[in-house]
């Protein structure tokens, strides 16, 4: 029988306080959540008691949606090993990075599961309950990266939701990975991946056609890494959009990862592409890159494109950076795209939560509601704007009704959080 209990003494955002039309602060109210199994089945204002039910004390913590890491590479992290910076071998050259991976992977594979576990623990402590991870599928590691990753994920099935993208990191055509990709999809991967069809594979049309066919044969969506610049990247996006018009099954099932070429595109063309992406349900997964070419993410969101984000490379041979926190991505978004006002900070949370926010733009509470999955985080903060701006730490993480992590500190009673 599914566990049924009350989570009392938590605070939910309930509205905005405005002055001359400007949001000045966010109001919160105390609530009690009734949870059964993996669902929220009732919400009560203030304290609520039922003598026949267990009570868990939220200690006045703010309750927010848990975070979603929609782009990470769990299979080849250095996390959990002694410190080492990225190798100085010109990481801007994809072919040198591929050559480096061919040397590194045989040394990383034997202990890959331990490092994957350590990284998953970090993600969970930072509030993440949904992970989409890319996994190398190429001749150097064969299917070993996938098999090791799948094994590592088994004990996490009750603690977070994980999806795997079969990712031909060394080029679908360049590394002759088509057969391996088919095998990977038959072993249960959730997404077909791809990488720079013009630059790495040298044949955009053939590479994309095979990727599309793999997805249709497997009945899965596509998550496509695109680092190419405007000269070739826009043509790749247009080819994929045209393919979606011909294959309605894939509409709503294409994610473009990175797509830096959109930062180099003039407004008129960008607007046209964004409209088509929104119409066909194409999402964009961005790491919120910092640098001279700032991605036009707010513009894309205004046009209706679904935006995702991820921590990408957390301490590996691509980059030594990465805290594992999706809430850090909200901070980056706010620093890049806002002036730090209450309303903008509040909306910045969306990039980390899969666009789930407690309040709509009018300040009406829209999350959580009865029937929602009971996946959330508890934090010692006054509101989500403070969480974003001050980078508040997570105190507790719930996944599908189950407390899966809480900060180690003295509790007033055993049922807290």
Helices (H), 187-229: 204-218
Least confident window among 22-26, 85-89, 232-236, 392-396: 85-89
pLDDT at 413: 42
| Residues 40 and 4: beta-carbon distance below 8 Å | no
Mean pLDDT of 117-124: 98
pLDDT at 417: 54
pLDDT at 88: 64
With the C-alpha atoms ordered 246, 309, 164, 374, is the resulting torsion angle positive or negative?
negative
- Which has the higher per-residue pLDDT, 193 or 293? 193
pLDDT at 2: 81
The model's confidence at residue 414, banded by pLDDT at 50, 70 and 90, is very low
The model's confidence at residue 1, banded by pLDDT at 50, 70 and 90, is confident
Residue 410 has pLDDT above 60, yes or no: no
Q: What's the CATH number of domain 67-321, 3.60.20.10, 3.40.50.300, 3.20.20.140, 3.30.43.10?
A: 3.20.20.140
Count Cα atoms within 13 angstroms, Cβ side, for 287.
Answer: 21
Mean pLDDT of 152-163: 98
Report long-range pairs for 110-115 (Cβ below 8 Å, ≥24 apart): 112/75, 112/76, 112/145, 112/148, 112/149, 112/152, 113/148, 113/151, 113/152, 114/80, 115/77, 115/78, 115/79, 115/80, 115/81
pLDDT at 89: 58
- Which has the higher per-residue pLDDT, 7 or 415? 7
- Which has the higher per-residue pLDDT, 416 or 41? 41
Report long-range pairs for 177-181 (Cβ below 8 Å, ≥24 apart): 177/137, 177/138, 177/139, 178/210, 178/214, 180/137, 180/138, 180/139, 180/142, 180/143, 181/137, 181/214
Residue 87 has pLDDT above 80, yes or no: no
Percent of the chain with pLDDT over 70: 96
| Residues 48 and 409: beta-carbon distance below 8 Å | no
34/13 Cα distance (integer angstroms):
17
Beta bridge partners, 67, equal 128
pLDDT tens digits, one per residue of 258-283: 999 999 999 999 999 999 999 999 99
Mean pLDDT of 189-206: 98
| Residues 15 and 27: beta-carbon distance below 8 Å | yes
Name, in order, each residue with C-beta under 8 angstroms of 24's C-beta and a sequence gap of 6 or more. 16, 17, 18, 342
> In angstroms, how far is CA 415 from the centroid of its own chain?
30
pLDDT at 93: 84
Say what the pTM is: 0.95
- CATH 2.30.40.10: does it fit domain 4-66+358-406? yes
pLDDT at 322: 86
Residue 416 has pLDDT above 50, yes or no: no
- Which has the higher per-residue pLDDT, 39 or 97? 39
Beta bridge partners, 124, equal none
Domain ranges of the chain: 4-66+358-406, 67-321
As given in the structure block, the two tokens for residue 205 are 């049309």
């Amino acid at each position: 029988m599914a566990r049924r209990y009350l989570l009392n003494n938590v605070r939910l955002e309930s509205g905005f306080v405005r002055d001359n039309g400007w949001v000045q602060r966010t109001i919160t109210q105390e609530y009690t959540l009734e949870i059964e199994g993996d669902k929220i089945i009732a919400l009560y204002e203030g304290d609520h008691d039922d003598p026949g039910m267990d009570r868990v004390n939220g200690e006045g913590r703010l309750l927010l949606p848990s975070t979603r890491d929609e782009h990470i590479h769990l299979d080849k992290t250095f996390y959990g090993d002694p410190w080492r910076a990225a190798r100085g071998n010109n990481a801007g050259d994809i072919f040198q990075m591929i050559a480096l991976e061919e040397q590194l992977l045989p040394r990383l594979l034997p202990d890959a599961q331990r490092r994957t576990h350590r990284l998953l623990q970090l993600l969970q402590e930072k509030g993440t309950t949904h992970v989409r991870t890319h996994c190398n599928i190429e001749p150097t590691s064969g299917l070993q990266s996938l098999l090791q990753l799948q094994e590592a994920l088994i004990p996490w099935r009750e603690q977070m939701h994980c999806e795997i993208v079969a990712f031909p990191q060394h080029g679908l055509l360049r590394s002759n990975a088509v057969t391996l990709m088919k095998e990977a999809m038959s072993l249960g991967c959730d997404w077909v991946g791809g990488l720079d069809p013009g630059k790495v594979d040298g044949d955009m049309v053939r590479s994309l056609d095979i990727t599309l066919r793999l997805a249709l044969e497997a009945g899965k969506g596509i998550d496509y890494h695109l680092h190419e610049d405007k000269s070739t990247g826009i043509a790749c996006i247009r080819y994929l959009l045209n393919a979606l018009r011909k294959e309605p099954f894939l509409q709503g099932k294409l994610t473009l990862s990175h797509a830096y070429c959109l930062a180099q595109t003039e407004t008129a063309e960008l607007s046209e592409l964004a409209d088509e992406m929104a119409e066909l349900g194409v999402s964009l997964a961005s790491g919120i890159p910092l640098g001279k070419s700032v991605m036009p993410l707010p513009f894309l969101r205004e046009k209706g494109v679904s935006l995702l984000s991820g921590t990408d490379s957390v301490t590996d041979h691509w980059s030594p950076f990465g805290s594992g926190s999706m809430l850090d991505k909200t901070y980056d978004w706010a620093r890049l795209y806002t002036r730090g006002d209450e309303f903008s900070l509040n909306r910045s949370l969306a990039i980390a939560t899969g666009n789930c926010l407690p309040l709509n733009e009018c300040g009406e509470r829209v999350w959580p509601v009865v029937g929602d999955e009971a996946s959330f985080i508890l934090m010692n903060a006054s509101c989500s704007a403070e969480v974003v701006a001050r980078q508040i730490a997570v105190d507790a993480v719930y996944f599908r009704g189950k407390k899966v992590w809480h900060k180690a500190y003295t509790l007033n009673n055993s049922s807290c959080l």
